[in-house]
Amino acid sequence: MSFAAHRSDFAIAEHPESRARGSIRREDARARSPIAAEASPLLRIKGVTLEYRTPERVVRATHRIDLDIHQGDRFVLLGPSGCGKSTLLKAAAGFIRPVEGEITLDGVPVREPGPDRIVVFQEFDQLPPWKTVAQNVAFPLRAARALGRREAMERARHYIDKVGLTPFAESYPHQLSGGMKQRVAIARALAMQPKVLMMDEPFAALDALTRRRMQEELLSLWDEAPFTLLFVTHSIEEALVVGNRVALLSPHPGRVRAEFNSHAFDLTSIGSHDFQDAVQRLHSRLFEAAPESRASTEVSA
């Protein structure tokens, strides 16, 4: 089954579907971001099943996920709590190995974490508290990118400026608000110039106003210098605003239920009829009963 909206630039389609479905209407850089269907994906998730093994049992977190993330995509994983979004992100980052299927980056199998995949987490305490903002951003550049002190500091200051924190470059994390700490984490990640920037509900713990501002900033950073983003959220609105492409995962264990283009929307769309309509249809889609959601998710070890 597939159902198209009355606007052709927002169409939900059963997975797998062609990236070319859903026409591109918006005449701005974000709207042009989806890469031609024939380009090979930067990050390919193919038939990936992920499990946690404890002495008592095996918990299946995701089941045979297929996703292609292209250069410049702002790809969102959207799904209910426990559907395996974080697990999938950790696997793409190289922290967890699939029990089935394969993840490749530029055609090379992902086997371990690396500086080409940086994750920004939800927690505000991901920065070493004894380092200043500038030191926090510069440190991984020296360690992983092997830049000299001066070069690392120059690049750090550039990205600190990008996230509007220059006046706080010499402050320590405890002197910053939650939103500011997330900006530092984003600056630190971008400064590494990873092939894929991964974010696991990075704004979920922020108040609504700050969250909106952070979404706006993230999009303007992308507009300035497009990067490839893999973004996890369980907020439908956030998925539509941040992403140009969204994969809807079914409840535990996560499977790809649908994939759709969302580049027609941004922060200015919120409140519009089309946006609300899209939210409503996604909401129904997210919560409709699916046969696979009744499948057993635990098998004995």
**Antiparallel, parallel or unpaired: β 43-53 and 57-69:** antiparallel
Minimal distance in Å, beta carbon 69 to ligand ATP? 18
Residues numbered 134-173 forming contacts with ligand ATP, rule: CB under 6 A: none
List the Cα angle 253/118/167 in 5-degree steps: 130
Minimal distance in Å, beta carbon 89 to ligand ATP? 8
String of DSSP letters for 251-268: SSSB-EEEEEE-TT--GG
Residues numbered 27-56 forming contacts with ligand ATP, rule: CB under 6 A: 52
Dihedral of CA atoms 212, 214, 254, 248 in degrees, nearest 10, equals: 50
Instruction: Return the number of the residue (89 or 138) whose C-beta is nearest ligand ATP.
Output: 89
Minimal distance in Å, beta carbon 18 to Mg ion? 29
The per-residue b/e assignment along 133-152, b for 16 or more CB within 10 angstroms, e otherwise, is bbbbbbbbbbeeeebeeeeb
Please tell me whether residue 78 binds ligand ATP under the rule CB under 6 A. no
Residues in contact with Mg ion, shown as a per-residue x/- string from 213 to 232 under the rule CB under 5 A: --------------------
The closest of 118, 32, 77 to 242, measured between CA atoms, is 77
87 interface partner picked from ligand ATP, Mg ion, none, CB below 5 to 8 A per type: ligand ATP
Category of 100 on φ-ψ map: left (φ > 0), alpha (ψ -120 to 50) or beta = beta
CA–CA gap between residue 114 and residue 159 (Å, rounded): 20
Please tell me whether residue 233 binds ligand ATP under the rule CB under 6 A. no
Please tell me whether residue 62 binds Mg ion under the rule CB under 5 A. no
Residues in contact with Mg ion, shown as a per-residue x/- string from 87 to 126 under the rule CB under 5 A: ----------------------------------------
Residues at the contact surface with ligand ATP, assessed by CB under 6 A: 52, 59, 61, 79, 81-87, 234, 252
